[in-house]
A and B are shown apart, each in its own frame.
Chain A
Amino acid sequence: METKTKNYKYVYNRPESLVDKQTHYCPGCGHGIVHKLLAEILDEFGVRERAIVVAPVGCSVLIYDYMNIDGCESAHGRAPAVATGLKRVNPDSIVISYQGDGDLLAIGTAETIHAANRGENFTTIFINNAIYGMTGGQMAPTTMVGQITATTPYGRDPMDVGFPIRGCELINSLERPVFIERCSIHDFKNTLKTKKAIKKGIKNQIEGKGYSFIEILSTCPTNWGMKPQAAADWVKDAMVPYYPLGNFRDRQE
């Protein structure tokens, strides 16, 4: 057996940065995809042993159970502050603040904006799925106009609760962030683009360039009341027109 397999080499395998464990995510959820992309990138850069992921409050609070790297909890919305503390103490560590839409643009807006404004040298991965997943499908700051949620049973009325907030555009008003891009994981092509963007964000951090912000439009089939493919289509048809994909900033100096 051994001699026979000797001539084979793995061309595709589970990333070392990912734990071999079934996640609690629903079928069709985007978190698993993004976790895997992040794990692949940490492997590719060889920085698994320097990496620390800061988990938000939300469905991805358990990301530290799925990543084979050091992991830190944070109170709801405070991931950028916790990441600031971690990174300032050990500038050689690779710190990822992984945040959802409620975390990043509602309860943690201040922490998000100020960490970005200071140009903290860590990477923010912002999962925008237009809803609060873990608490059972309430309105998020990114919930679409007219979208029905547990707390907008008649649809989101912008004259009552405002329009959905565009994260990249908000961060793009600040001077110090070096990289800002909005991506999506609704199809394979966009998933590859997402990987490229995260990779750039981690590379910037390794090179000490400063703050990178990657917004990822993602799916929540359970709370949207859709099947996985319909959810992916909804990202493309409903979200992408409001949240334009693409790079907002890629500072090279």
Chain B
Amino acid sequence: MGKQILMKGNEALGEAAIIAGCRFYFGYPITPQNEIPAYMSRRLPEVGGTFLQAESEIAAVNMVFGASAAGARVMTSTSSPGMSLKQEGLSYLAGAKLPCVVVNIMRGGPGLGNIAGAQGDYFQATRGGGNGDYRHIVLTPASVQEMAELTVLAFDLADEYRITVLILGDGYLGQISEALTLPEPTGKVFEKPWALTGAKGREPNKIASLKLVPDHVLEEMNLSLERTYNEISSRECRSESYLTEDAEYLLVAYGTSSRICRAAVNELREEGVKAGLFRLITAWPFPAAALKRASLKAKKILTVEMSLGQMIEDVRLSVDNPERVDFYGRSGGMLPETEEIKRRIKAYGN
């Protein structure tokens, strides 16, 4: 165990990327994730890496495409409006099977919205905002410690499956300062024989998503991607079940809203109410089986989001008797309140 230090969420994520062996970062300023590029611009030169401020989010994600094609561990980060711009690149990365880590520190939307933390990009993150049949892994940290741990994991998952891993945080997580223990490097090594390093002593490598002829080649590629996605779905679902075994009232949340839910569960338990929390750690793949288990004894399932109801669709699809699923959300950068959660749970009992 390393010693505990105090860090901002965004900076912990940056340091964790360096621990994971990320030596290339391309990004464009946008609040509330600006500490990430600032941190990388300071730290990467110290470890022999490259930081480059791109001319746009679109350019940044395409620089990521090039760096990944060259075989590097590479990351970009942004916040919601910038994430919309990155969707083109994410689709091409998926089609070209290039690994990378992309961070979205969500803020209020739609449009320019505001700069407070929000969770309005769940659909975009889990359904895919770019064109075509593709998926990417979505990790949802809920603390500064987890911002760091999941970042290290993200790089390994990206290389293992040749896929984009999206870290879906929010402005509160990015800005909060908490004690954490920095993670250790995992030491995993991934060979990249497909990388573009010059055709020395081998046939030329080509990185491309264009599959024109014959007619069926694109479907074949998409089916092969689907096999990877199925493998990920069966192996990489992550979640935390907190006091769910006997829970009559189950809260479902992720990220910052899950912290508020945890406080509500603790207070409800003190009052004798059998409440529990199911927290996502991966939003895709969605931990449906674990949620189903956690919800077995629940009379009511309250989905709590910092949006007007996006994850709730996955919750309804996962549990038996989905009419049990209810919703409480705040939008536009506002936070759900512990008291309101408690009030609603108690009202179910009456």
Contact = CB atoms under 8 A, between A and B. Distances in A.
Interface of A: 48-52, 54-55, 61-62, 64-65, 67-75, 78, 81-90, 92-94, 110-111, 113-114
A83 B207 CA distance: 13
Contacts of A49: 198-201
Contacts, number: 137
B286 interface: no
B55 A83 contact: no
Given A70-B204, A73-B209, A85 B64 contact: yes
Interface stretch (B65-73, B148-156, B307-315): B65-73
A89 B198 contact: no
Contact of A85 (B69, B88, B201): B69
Interface of B: 24, 26, 50, 52, 54-56, 58-60, 62-72, 74, 88-89, 92, 96, 196-201, 204-210
Nearest to B201: A49
Given A61-B210, A111-B62, A85 B70 contact: yes
Nearest to A62: B210
A67 B199 CA distance: 11
A78 B58 contact: yes
Contacts of A86: 66-67, 69-70, 196
B66 A84 contact: yes
Contacts of B58: 78, 81, 110-111
B207 A71 contact: yes
A81 B207 contact: no
B66 A85 contact: yes
A73 B210 contact: yes
B59 A78 contact: yes
Contact of A70 (B52, B60, B68, B199): B199
A89 B49 CA distance: 9
Contact of B63 (A65, A69, A85, A110): A85
B59 A93 contact: no
Given A78-B62, A85-B64, A86-B70, A64 B198 contact: no
A75 B89 contact: yes
A84 B199 contact: no
A55 B196 CA distance: 13
Contacts of B210: 61-62, 73
22 contacts: A49-B201, A50-B198, A52-B196, A54-B66, A61-B210, A69-B198, A69-B204, A73-B208, A73-B210, A74-B62, A78-B58, A78-B89, A82-B62, A83-B66, A84-B66, A85-B65, A86-B196, A88-B67, A89-B24, A89-B74, A93-B197, A110-B58
Given A70-B197, A70-B198, A71-B207, A88 B52 contact: yes
Contact of B67 (A74, A85, A93, A113): A85
Contacts of B55: 110-111, 113-114
Contacts of A82: 62-63, 65-66, 69
A217 B67 CA distance: 31
Contacts of B59: 78, 81, 110-111, 114
A70 B26 CA distance: 23
A55 B67 CA distance: 15
**Residue of A51, A72, A85, A94 ringed by the most chain B CB atoms within 10 A:** A85
A90 B197 contact: yes
A71 B209 CA distance: 12
Contact of A81 (B62, B71, B96, B196): B62
